[in-house]
Structure 1
Amino acid sequence: MGILEGKNILVAGVTHNTSIAYEAARIAQQEGATVLVSNFGRALSLTNRVVQKLDPVPPVLELDVTNADHLAALPDAVREHVDHLDGLVHSIAFANPETALGGKFLETGWDDVATSLHVSAYSMASLTMACKPLFREGASVVGMTFDGSVTWPSYDWMGVSKAALEATSRYLARYLGKEGIRSNIVSAGPLQTIAKKAIPGGSSFDDVWAERAPLGWDPTDTTPTAKAIVALLSDWFPATTGEVVHVDGGLHSTGA
């Protein structure tokens, strides 16, 4: 019996089979979960294709987390497939690579900053609240970050958004804990995902991890990160909330 046996999980942000979200969905299924996935817009057709590799093929919901109507309709859309949710994976982020990344921090206008914060941080709260009527006691929300406690070259307003995401998770933990709902974040090292490719100079992170990660780091292997997500979705962390769990080969613990 898997650690998610009998649980229903929504994985938001599955785009490509190299993504952390895809691997989390795959492992969640292996561990016994019924999985639903979501995406929106032009990415939705890509999601529909990539989930054909999963067994069973999960339902794909159209969900733009910046669209209030989509969020309001989400509970009914989920109920077409399952009657409740036990977990939510928030793997959603966006910052305009032309204006908000790549060393343009001091020149980025508010509209682009607002978009990054809305999609990458606020959406964890709005999506969680949209799912809240579906949650059972013991439900788990898991988000994804790239260590927002420090600055990174070129990461700029996405770094600010990730710091906001981490804070958002802590406040969700604070306010939803009394209802038995946990909220945690997994902080992954650099992985060869579409999101990383959008960061100007993002490949330079690989050299840093190759040199400094105590356990080493394989930027092509999303499995360790996905396993951490699945573990946090399970009942094996019943008293852990408001936490940032690092899956980065230990680099966060090292100095220069």
Structure 2
Amino acid sequence: MLLDGKKILVTGVLDPRSIAFQAARLAQEEGAEIVLTGFGRGRKLTERSAKRLPERPDVLELDVTNPDDVEAVVAELTERWGRVDGIVHAIGFAPASCLGEDFLEAPWEDVATALQVSTYSLAVLARAFRPLMVAADGASMVGLDFDATVAWPGYNWMGVAKAGLESLSRYLARELGPDGIRVNLIAAGPLNTMAARSIDGFSQFDEVWGARAALPWDLRDAEPVGRNIVALLSDWTPAVTGEILHVDGGVHAMGA
């Protein structure tokens, strides 16, 4: 029961294949009470997925680009829990022009959307929930990454956004460390999630990982990533912050 009694906010649950769903499921199995977030039409997908968790959690409306939504969730969890022990940041979006083959053709307006939603949103959550995490006396934020040290085919501006997320996580680790709040990322290998299927050329990743992974890698199994999220949320990683943990079968460490 690594998360016994902990209060965890989980964003980004779209369907049972998503990393966030596995994190939510495992968090419940390890003793946490969780709340999910969704917004707009996607909230229906989140609510449908919530029914398939061991215990059906509430789903709160949260568009990270809408300050009113953020304030409302903070107010709800302040009244409900009085603290937040952990936050799973599984938020990412890029307009179609930011993905695919025409990297230089994406207009700034679309790039700005990708950066606001996929990168800046981590800072939005950190600022808004900081008092509740301070009240937890040792909280943890865990974000989802995809190795941004290299350029991936078709990933384009989302890759740039992830590079910003990696840098941002280090600055947040420095900023929030004195409050006892840890900030880490997990750089997951490719998984057959709803988000991944929106990337043109995603099928190429299957070949790359099959050839280069030191450990077997299954694109259909997000549980290994979920387990590591739970570990970083738990009290068993007390001195770990500003870290990017690669859960990718070892591909990041392999040469050509």
Q: Residue 152 of structure 1 aligns to which amino acid in structure 2? A: W
Q: What are the residue-to-residue correspondences of 1:237-248 with 2, within 5 Å? A: 237-248=237-248
Aligned to 2:48: 49
Question: What letter corresponds to residue 241 of structure 2 in structure 1?
Answer: T
Matched, 1:160 2:160: yes
- For the residues of structure 2 that align with 1:150 and 1:78, how far apart are their CA atoms? 38
**What letter is aligned with 2:32?**
A
Classify the secondary structure of the residue corresponding to 1:133. Answer: helix
With normalisation by structure 2, the TM-score equals 0.97
Partner Cα distance (2:77, 2:12) in 1:
15
Q: Write the distance in 2 (CA, Å) between the matches of 1:140 and 1:240.
A: 10
For residue 113 of structure 1, the aligned residue among 106, 111, 118 is 111
CA distance in 2, matches of 1:155, 1:75: 33
Aligned to 2:82: 83
Cα deviation digits, residues 197-216 of structure 1 (max 9, x gap): 00001111011000100102
* Alignment-derived partner of residue 7 in structure 1: 6
1:36 to partner: Cα distance: 0.6
The amino acid of 1:213's aligned partner reads: A
Q: Secondary structure at the match of 1:88?
A: strand
Instruction: Identify the residue that residue 126 of structure 2 maps to in structure 1.
Output: 128
Equivalent residue, structure 1, for 2:18: 19
Indicate if the aligned counterparts of 1:100 and 1:157 stay in contact, CA closer than 8 A: yes
Q: Is 1:104–2:102 an aligned residue pair?
A: yes
Task: Compute the displacement of 1:20 (Å).
Answer: 0.2
CA deviation after TM superposition for structure 1 residue 55, in Å: 2.2
2:86 partner SS = strand
Alpha-carbon distance between aligned partners in 2 of 1:103 and 1:174, rounded to the nearest angstrom: 36
Aligned alpha-carbon RMSD (Å): 0.8
Q: Is 1:28 equivalent to 2:27 in the alignment?
A: yes
The aligned runs of 1:200-239 (5 Å cut-off) are 200-239=200-239
- 8 Å CA contact retained: 1:74, 1:131: no
Q: Tell me how far 1:71 sits from its aligned partner.
A: 1.4
Q: Is the 1:217–1:248 Cα contact (8 Å) retained in structure 2? A: yes
CA distance in 1, matches of 2:79, 2:60: 10
Please give the alpha-carbon distance, in whole angstroms, between the structure 1 residues aligned to 2:93 and 2:58: 24
Secondary structure at the aligned position of 2:120 is classed as helix
1:33 CA drift (Å)? 0.3
User: What is the rounded CA distance, in whole Å, between the counterparts of 1:145 and 1:104 in structure 2?
Assistant: 22
Q: Secondary structure at the match of 1:53?
A: coil
Residue segments in structure 2 that go unaligned for 5+ positions in a row:
none
Counterpart of 2:70?
71
Deviations 1:88-107 (A, max 9, x none): 0000000112x111111111
Alignment-derived partner of residue 183 in structure 1: 183
**Paired AA for residue 10 in structure 1:** L
Shift of 1:69: 1.2
For structure 1, the 5+ residue unaligned runs are none
Partner AA of 2:173 in structure 1:
A
Counting aligned pairs with the same residue, the percent is 54
Q: CA deviation at 1:188?
A: 0.4
Instruction: Write the distance in 2 (CA, Å) between the matches of 1:15 and 1:133.
Output: 28
User: Could you say what secondary structure the match of 2:226 adopts?
Assistant: helix
Q: Please give the secondary structure, in 2, of the residue aligned with 1:73.
A: helix
CA drift at 1:80: 4.6
- What are the Cα deviations for residues 209-256 of structure 1, in whole angstroms up to 9, with x where unaligned? 001001021000000000010000001110000000000000000111
Structure-2 separation of matches of 1:230 and 1:189: 17
The C-alpha deviation readout for 1:54-76, integer Å capped at 9, x for no partner, is 12111111000011111122211
Which aligned segments of 4 or more residues in structure 1 are displaced greater than 6 angstroms? Answer: none
Q: CA deviation at 1:82?
A: 2.1
